[in-house]
Amino acid sequence: MRCRVVPEPHHEHKAVFRQTFVKSPYFDGDDYENVVSTKTSYLCGNCEFVLAKNIHSDQILQLLNITQIENGIVLQCPQCQKFNELGAKMD
Protein backbone atom coordinates (compact mmCIF):
# COMPACT_ATOMS: atom_id res chain seq x y z
CA MET A 1 0.00 0.00 0.00
CA ARG A 2 1.43 3.37 -0.99
CA CYS A 3 1.56 6.03 1.69
CA ARG A 4 0.51 9.59 1.10
CA VAL A 5 3.46 11.99 0.70
CA VAL A 6 3.02 15.09 2.87
CA PRO A 7 5.03 18.25 3.52
CA GLU A 8 7.41 18.08 6.46
CA PRO A 9 5.15 18.34 9.51
CA HIS A 10 5.82 20.33 12.66
CA HIS A 11 7.01 18.01 15.44
CA GLU A 12 4.26 19.19 17.81
CA HIS A 13 1.49 18.06 15.42
CA LYS A 14 2.67 14.62 14.33
CA ALA A 15 5.14 11.97 15.40
CA VAL A 16 7.93 11.99 12.81
CA PHE A 17 10.32 9.04 12.46
CA ARG A 18 13.65 9.53 10.69
CA GLN A 19 16.58 7.23 9.92
CA THR A 20 20.08 8.59 9.83
CA PHE A 21 22.29 5.75 8.63
CA VAL A 22 20.28 2.59 8.07
CA LYS A 23 18.00 2.19 5.07
CA SER A 24 15.51 -0.40 6.23
CA PRO A 25 11.80 -0.67 7.03
CA TYR A 26 10.76 1.13 10.21
CA PHE A 27 8.42 -1.69 11.22
CA ASP A 28 8.52 -5.40 10.46
CA GLY A 29 5.51 -7.45 11.53
CA ASP A 30 6.94 -10.87 10.64
CA ASP A 31 6.91 -12.11 14.24
CA TYR A 32 3.40 -10.90 15.04
CA GLU A 33 1.47 -14.16 15.30
CA ASN A 34 -2.07 -15.33 16.11
CA VAL A 35 -3.77 -12.44 14.32
CA VAL A 36 -6.68 -12.87 11.95
CA SER A 37 -6.20 -9.65 9.93
CA THR A 38 -4.33 -9.44 6.62
CA LYS A 39 -0.69 -8.38 6.48
CA THR A 40 0.17 -5.28 4.46
CA SER A 41 3.39 -3.56 3.46
CA TYR A 42 3.51 0.24 3.31
CA LEU A 43 5.55 1.87 0.55
CA CYS A 44 6.89 5.38 0.11
CA GLY A 45 4.39 7.31 -1.99
CA ASN A 46 7.27 8.76 -4.01
CA CYS A 47 9.87 6.05 -4.64
CA GLU A 48 8.08 2.90 -3.34
CA PHE A 49 10.78 2.12 -0.72
CA VAL A 50 9.34 -0.35 1.83
CA LEU A 51 8.68 1.70 4.98
CA ALA A 52 6.84 -1.01 6.92
CA LYS A 53 6.39 -4.64 5.97
CA ASN A 54 4.06 -7.46 6.95
CA ILE A 55 2.01 -5.21 9.22
CA HIS A 56 -1.45 -6.17 10.41
CA SER A 57 -4.04 -3.37 10.23
CA ASP A 58 -4.66 -3.60 13.97
CA GLN A 59 -0.94 -3.00 14.64
CA ILE A 60 -1.16 0.44 13.02
CA LEU A 61 -4.29 1.25 15.03
CA GLN A 62 -2.55 0.10 18.23
CA LEU A 63 0.49 2.24 17.45
CA LEU A 64 -1.72 5.27 16.86
CA ASN A 65 -3.60 4.64 20.11
CA ILE A 66 -0.45 4.07 22.17
CA THR A 67 1.17 7.28 20.93
CA GLN A 68 -2.18 9.12 21.15
CA ILE A 69 -1.51 10.58 17.71
CA GLU A 70 -4.88 11.04 16.05
CA ASN A 71 -3.56 12.47 12.81
CA GLY A 72 -1.13 9.69 12.02
CA ILE A 73 2.55 9.07 12.11
CA VAL A 74 5.00 10.35 9.52
CA LEU A 75 7.92 8.27 8.28
CA GLN A 76 10.68 10.03 6.40
CA CYS A 77 11.75 7.77 3.57
CA PRO A 78 15.43 6.90 4.02
CA GLN A 79 15.78 6.50 0.24
CA CYS A 80 14.29 9.74 -1.17
CA GLN A 81 13.79 11.77 2.05
CA LYS A 82 10.07 12.42 1.37
CA PHE A 83 7.66 12.44 4.33
CA ASN A 84 5.00 9.71 4.26
CA GLU A 85 1.92 9.65 6.43
CA LEU A 86 1.17 6.31 8.05
CA GLY A 87 -2.27 6.53 9.54
CA ALA A 88 -5.52 4.70 10.03
CA LYS A 89 -6.81 6.09 6.73
CA MET A 90 -4.48 5.37 3.84
CA ASP A 91 -4.77 6.27 0.15
**pLDDT at res. 69:** 52
Q: How far, in Å, CA of 54 to CA of 39, rounded?
A: 5
Average pLDDT over residues 74-88: 88
Of 20-24, 66-70, 87-91, least confident by mean pLDDT is 87-91
> 64: pLDDT confidence band, cut at 50, 70 and 90?
low
**pLDDT at res. 83:** 96
pTM: 0.76
Model pLDDT for residues 6-62, shown as the tens digit of each residue: 999 876 667 788 998 889 998 887 665 666 667 888 999 999 999 988 887 677 666
Strand locations in the chain (E): 4-6, 15-17, 27-28, 39-43, 50-56, 73-76, 83-86
